[in-house]
Amino acid sequence: MPKNRIIPVVLLKNGRVVQSKQFKRHQILGTPTVIVGRMSNWFSDELIYIDITRDNNYDLNRDDLNFNNSNDFYTILNDLSKKCFMPLTSGGGIKNIKDIEKRLNSGADKVCINSEVIKNPKFLSEAAKIFGTQCIVVSIDSKMIEGSYYVFTDFGKINSNFSTNQVAKMVESEGAGEILINSIDNDGMGNGYDFNLIDSVYSNVNIPVIAMGGVGNWDHFEDCITKFENISVAASNIFQYTENSVYNAHLYLNDKNINVRPPTISTIIKTGEE
């Protein structure tokens, strides 16, 4: 049986990695190349890298740092890909085929598309036809409104008025290779995954599902994988605050006999610096 993947998610805003809380508050954590270098040292299964910048400004305003200070997203992505020794998915702001091409040419292995698939579902089918379904991850940001789950677009600001399971079925039919289902309500709260939300997608599609939103300890990974056998689990904040976090997650889950890859860590410390 294939191993369940444990996938760190790195959020980039204005050239810095940030912690997110319910898509509203963003706390700066550090510089992207250093953080991605750590994830590689800790042998992450994969990495999802999502740009949530809203004003197209990526300048760190720091010229004393010993790596390139760039005001261009694709230069940053290219620098990251050189430090990333694992499959890399790039998302955020993808609106057309050219955006996908530029990300793949800058070192990404897959892309993660969000708002545009709601606005233009045929863009998704076109992308899948050109690049293959294995290259296309669709991110669904969902929030509960009056007891039902709805998909939100534009950084979680606009209610699409489409139900979450309706969108999940649609993106599968249009060629998505995977779905990343993210709970806006649970984002950054540390209180665990929203299983009802996950089930609204997991039980209605036949493509891989990645769960995200709410992880506060390793138990939450265990609970999710135990409940949804063939699922991948993702998180952002929990991987940023402790040394060797990815290793420790795998160690914990292996000790619980959860079907994940054994823990591994690099003996060569790569900090992301030249």
CA 107-237-85 angle, to 5 degrees, is: 25
Say what the pLDDT of residue 268 is.
44
Residue whose token pair is 């063939």: 230
- What are the C-alpha distances in Å from 211 to residues 124, 165, 220, 235? 21, 14, 11, 8
Position with higher pLDDT, 171 vs 240: 171
Q: Which domains does the chain have, with CATH numbers?
A: 6-255 (3.20.20.70)
Say what the pLDDT of residue 29 is.
66
Across the range 50-64, mean pLDDT stands at 70
Per mean pLDDT, which range of 64-68, 175-179, 203-207 is the poorest?
64-68
Which tokens go with 105? 């040419």
Instruction: Yes or no: say if 160 and 149 are a contact pair by the CB < 8 Å rule.
Output: no
Q: What is the pLDDT of residues 229-263, one digit of tens each?
A: 899 999 988 998 778 999 999 999 999 999 999 99
Residues 6+ positions from 164 with CB-CB distance below 8 Å: 140, 142, 149, 150, 151, 181, 197, 200, 201
Using CA atoms, how far apart are residues 170 and 160, in angstroms rounded to an integer? Answer: 14
Q: What is the pLDDT of residues 120-156, one digit of tens each?
A: 999 999 999 999 999 999 999 999 999 999 999 988 8
* Single pTM value for the model: 0.90
Per mean pLDDT, which range of 26-40, 156-170, 234-248 is the poorest?
26-40
Using CA atoms, how far apart are residues 105 and 78, in angstroms rounded to an integer? Answer: 8
Residues 6+ positions from 165 with CB-CB distance below 8 Å: 149, 200, 201, 204
Position with higher pLDDT, 170 vs 1: 170
Say what the pLDDT of residue 53 is.
82
Which tokens go with 198? 């996950």
